[in-house]
Amino acid sequence: MYQSLFREKVDLLKESGEYRVFRRIDRRCGEYPTCYMGGDKPGQGVVWCSNDYLNMSQHPDVLDAMFAALRTHGAGSGGSRNIGGTHGFFDELEESLAEWHGKESALVFPTGFSSNDATLQCLLRIIPNCHVFSDASNHASIINGIRGTKATCHVFAHNDVSDLEAKLSAIPLDTPKIVVFESVYSMDGDIAPISEIVDLAEQHNALTYLDEVHAVGMYGPRGSGLAAKLGIDHRIDIIQGTMAKAVGIIGGYIASRETITDAVRSYCTGFIFTTALRPAVVAGCSASISHLKRSATERSELARKTSLLRDCLARSAIPVMACSETHILPVPVRDAKKCTLAANYLADEHGIYIQPINSPTVPQGTERFRVNVTPCHTYEHIEALSKALADTFEVFEITRSRGRPSREEAISA
């Protein structure tokens, strides 16, 4: 009975084209974006969808710091932060993160997912009768954290300040509230109206919780995020980020007032009962962030290459969703089976790796390729990608109309 149930659920994904296959990708240190790809036609390829946005995972300063920590501290952390896992590298990293965001303190988690999930569960359990207001396009880690509590959740339309205002206005001023949103949305590449949301939150006596995962390292002064770029980071109560994207390694964190981070540290089960990041990882994160604080080279080159990629895709009549304002360029396919087949074709015939983005990551009918360039991609790489996409769109008869297949359209379809 159980095996047939599991088999049936997996078969449904295969029939719809939403079944996920992990293609082997062996990146080559010092040769990024080159990789070795497995599959039907294994061989050398080029990665076009990595979250290692600035190639910091292979930066010499990062590698040196990790090797040094490995030699001095060994491979593992030895336990949770509370039981033997708080090594000296954590002090350096958490102080650096707090300073980066202009906050009193920071707290590091093993992953970005866990920092959202565990922190939100903790906050919504500590604050009595709390109402949470969550953007409709928020990441699964945010949704999971909210659903893990009994807090009343109000989902407001994506980036819709009017809808948020209407929902906030319906709740008494003295009722505890948290507004949770992201600065950059990873599947659409769009930016939240951060200032307007913060204004509303302050007017309605609500805490603000901002996920800057896809912005830290890449935007703002010293790469400290979009809230800092707007000069309002001091008005955000809790900033959440990751070391798995622009920083190039792994780990998540929150930065806030000391009272908030101390409460999370003391009550958050997802933090208390998990093994701490190993010393080499934390040392590497510190080295990467230190470099990004003092170097704008990677950010400037990312911006330049993104502009080149946009222009090249436009010349090849490859659509990019109109909502994209950032380094994330979503290319609409709008069909799960075609998206998967086209991704395999790109890999096998053109040596280009782009992971198909299907449901449940995005709503059905809005399937896409999520493309992003990095400082290490060359103009030749960009031209090759454009030509390969043009060929692929023709082979699979993918519509080239420009525009955003919105979540609202998908729901109403």
**Side chain identity, residue 70:** L
Residue 205 host element (H or E): none
DSSP letters spanning 286-316: HHHHHHHHH--HHHHHHHHHHHHHHHHHHHT
335, 338, 342, 343 alpha-carbon torsion, rounded to 10°:
60
DSSP letters spanning 103-146: -SEEEEES-HHHHHHHHHHHHHHHSTT-EEEEETT--HHHHHHH
- By the 8 A CB rule, do 197 and 208 touch? yes
DSSP letters spanning 221-259: GGG--HHHHTT-GGG-SEEEEESSSTT-S--EEEEE-HH
Out of 167, 177, 245, 305, pick the active-site residue: 245
SS3 assignment, position 154: strand
- By the 8 A CB rule, do 273 and 80 touch? yes
Residue 46 host element (H or E): strand 43-47
- By the 8 A CB rule, do 210 and 238 touch? yes
Closest CA to 247 of 59, 1, 390, 7: 59
Peptide bond into 60 cis (omega under 30): no
Encoded tokens for 28: 């080559």
Asked whether the CA dihedral 185, 190, 191, 192 is positive or negative, the reply is negative
Q: Which neighbouring-strand residues pair with 107?
A: 254
167 in catalytic set: no
- Rounded Cα gap, residues 252 and 110, in angstroms: 6
DSSP letters spanning 62-106: HHHHHHHHHHHH-S---SBTTTT---HHHHHHHHHHHHHTT-SEE
Sheet of 131-135: strand order equals 105-109, 252-256, 238-242, 207-211, 177-182, 131-135, 152-156
DSSP letters spanning 310-341: HHHHHHTT----TT--SS-EEEE---HHHHHH
Catalytic residues: 245
